[in-house]
Amino acid sequence: MSSTETLPTAADDSAGVEAGLDALETVQAQRTPLTTVLRRSVLPPVLGVVLVLAVWQLAYTLELTTPDKLPSPADVWDSLTELWYAGTLFSIIWTSVWRGLSGFLLSVVIGTPIGLLVAQVKPVRAALGPVLSGLQSLPSVAWVPAAVIWLGINNSAMYAVILLGAVPSIANGLIAGVDQVPPLFLRAGQTLGATGIRGARHILLPAALPGYLAGLKQGWAFSWRSLMAAELIASSPDLGLGLGRYLENQREFTNMSGVLLGILLILTVGVAIDLLFFSPLERRVLRSRGLLVTSR
């Protein structure tokens, strides 16, 4: 090393770190242009839908099967417009959406404390951990006959099936998130006096949020699937007409256009809830932790 060269000082290192942090904050503050969002997030699924419709229309045109088994996209559209003009489309959708969302929120209220208890208390975990895992793997449709016998064909049976399907997923997601929290966080919280409920609220839950959010997302999927299974099987005028019951009614009428419309509406609602709520929330959580890098 020549006499003219100097070693970096602590002040230089500090200035470099500050400059790097300022640059990082600047990158995070930049917003993605609308055209880029449309190109990356909107255009691909639109092209996918167009491709599916094109293949569907081609199969119908080539008469790969009879029209009563594979109607054209136009036939399904006609079934949709019939519901629209009859004024029942939104009522059918809302009946199921309201049940699904309210059942999911109730599952969150029940599943969250169960997940915390199982994650934090070893004897409870040894006793209930395998039970939660087994309930999560059990198909939701298996609970429908039992719920109907226990509670009758009513909304209580619908909610019971939703809870039995969603609560284990939410609890297991929170347990997985708590298991990934570094012990140093918990010790630091205890040093600052954050113990018990305060520690769970201010330290444990925020640190376990990514895993918990994954459990919530899966819990919604189980809620929606459980509800559709219950509506398909249980039939009563007191329940009203939801998407699952509409689908089963069209099957009884051998109306394949209506069947496909029911399937598409169920799929659309499930995807819409994920895109409008869970995906933005997931991106926000990951971005706040520096785990989501937005490329230019």
Alpha carbon distance 287, 264 (integer Å): 32
pLDDT, position 188 = 67
pLDDT, position 239 = 85
Alpha carbon distance 50, 46 (integer Å): 6
Specify the amino acid at residue 5.
Answer: E
- Give pairs for 240-245: CB < 8 Å, separation 24+: 240/91, 240/95, 241/88, 241/91, 241/92, 241/95, 242/92, 242/95, 242/96, 242/99, 243/92, 243/93, 243/95, 243/96, 243/269, 244/96
Q: Is residue 92 a contact partner of residue 83, using CB atoms and an 8 Å limit?
A: yes
Domains and CATH numbers, the chain: 70-287 (1.10.3720.10)
pLDDT, position 110 = 95
pLDDT, position 34 = 66
Report CA-CA distances (Å) from 93 to 17, 221, 254: 54, 16, 21
Average pLDDT, the chain: 81
Mean pLDDT, consecutive 10-residue segments, the chain of 296 residues? Answer: 48 51 47 68 79 89 86 93 93 94 94 89 88 87 89 90 93 87 68 65 74 89 91 84 92 92 93 86 77 54
Alpha carbon distance 225, 233 (integer Å): 13
Q: Which residues of 154-186 are buried (b: 16+ CB within 10 A; e: fewer)?
A: ebebbbbbbbbbbbbbbbbbbbbbbeebeeebb
Alpha carbon distance 132, 169 (integer Å): 8
Polymer length of the chain = 296
pLDDT, position 28 = 46
pLDDT, position 224 = 93
Q: Is residue 215 a contact partner of residue 170, using CB atoms and an 8 Å limit?
A: yes
Note the pTM of the prediction, 2 decimals: 0.79
**3-state percent breakdown (helix, strand, coil) of the chain, nearest 5:** 80, 0, 20
pLDDT, position 24 = 44
CA count, 13 A, side-chain hemisphere, 93: 17
Q: Among 10, 222, 53, which Cα is nearest to 132's? A: 222
Alpha carbon distance 235, 251 (integer Å): 14
Token pair listed for 193: 């006096």
Task: Cite the DSSP H helix spans in 87-238.
Answer: 89-120, 122-137, 143-151, 155-179, 183-191, 196-199, 205-207, 209-233
pLDDT, position 186 = 64
